[in-house]
Amino acid sequence: MTMEMTAEELLERYAAGERDFTGVQFKNTKGGRIDLSGANLSGAIFRNASFPRGSRFKKTNLSGADLRGANLYDTELTGVNLSFANLNRARLESSEILLEEGANLQGVNLSEANMVDIHWENVEMNDVNLFIVNLFHGAIFNSSLKRANFEGGMLAEVYMNAVNLEGANFRGCELAESCFSDCNLTGAFLDEYNATAYLRSYYDLYNTIMPDGSVVSNCK
């Protein structure tokens, strides 16, 4: 049975030392900055919740959580477990995801999420659903996004360094002024607009493996 709880009640119980809030349903999240680091919020329902800027979910278990439409602007998600969480249409602008030991993003749904200026580092999200995602001006480092679905996404001015993008789907993506450094695009799917020849000519590529297996460096 799902238990409804206000943000105030949740924070009071957290401050008292409680950490297991499995399946809780938020009624609202009004108030100041929220810090639920280390809590177990697996299966929790945060649909359309709005978290204040600077909220922290460091090493929090959000596996299977419903975060559809949630506002996580400028939120710390270091070491978070988001396996099989649903973040469809969630707002993650300026949020920081840094994976530490034990972190898990397997099966997370980030379709149509707004992640402008996001910072990802050491992220492993193979097969992730990023359909129509907005990653404008984002930065991704030392990560694996093999077979990720970026179809229809906004990836303009995105910087990727040491990212494995084997078999990723970039059909219909906007990649203007994006930069790929030490990335692997082997077998990536590109439409005519973002074809390999176009990428070679118009995007910053440094030591990057192209879909056809060739290695390109065209940065000046």
Q: Residue type at 16?
A: A
Q: Which of 185, 164, 186, 162 is nearest to 175 (CA)?
A: 185
pLDDT score of 203 more than 80 = no
User: 35 pLDDT band (50/70/90 cuts)?
Assistant: very high
pLDDT score of 79 more than 90 = no
Residues 74 and 95: beta-carbon distance below 8 Å: yes
Q: What is the mean pLDDT of residues 200-217?
A: 65
Predicted local confidence at residue 201, as pLDDT: 46
pLDDT score of 169 more than 80 = yes
DSSP of the chain: ---EE-HHHHHHHHHTT--B-TT-EES---SS--B-TT-B-TT-B-TT-BPPTT-B-TT-B-TT-B-TT-B-TT-B-TT-B-TT-B-TT-B-TT-EEE--TT-B-TT-B-TT-B-TT-EEES-B-TT-B-TT-B-TT-EEEEEE-TT-B-TT-B-TT-EEEEEE-TT-B-TT-B-TT-EEES-B-TT-B--STT-HHHHHHHSEEESEE-TTS-EE----
pLDDT score of 74 more than 50 = yes
Predicted local confidence at residue 193, as pLDDT: 54
C-alpha distance across the termini of the chain, in Å: 60
Q: Which of 122, 82, 74 is nearest to 106 (CA)?
A: 82
Higher pLDDT, 180 or 41: 41
Q: What is the mean pLDDT of residues 102-126?
A: 85
The total of other beta-carbon atoms located within 10 Å of residue 28's CB is 11
Q: What percent of the chain has pLDDT over 70?
A: 84
Predicted local confidence at residue 1, as pLDDT: 53
Q: What percent of the chain has pLDDT over 90?
A: 46
pLDDT score of 194 more than 60 = no
Please, what is the Cα angle at 79 between 69 and 114, to 5 degrees? 25
The total of other beta-carbon atoms located within 10 Å of residue 154's CB is 21
User: 59 pLDDT band (50/70/90 cuts)?
Assistant: very high
Please, what is the Cα angle at 189 between 87 and 182, to 5 degrees? 85
User: 98 pLDDT band (50/70/90 cuts)?
Assistant: low
Q: 26-40, 62-76, 126-140: which range is least confident on average?
A: 26-40
Predicted local confidence at residue 202, as pLDDT: 46
Residue 53, both tokens: 């800027």
Its pTM stands at 0.80
**Per-chain mean pLDDT for the chain:** 85
Higher pLDDT, 88 or 196: 88
Predicted local confidence at residue 3, as pLDDT: 84
Q: What is the mean pLDDT of residues 115-130?
A: 89
Q: What is the mean pLDDT of residues 100-128?
A: 83
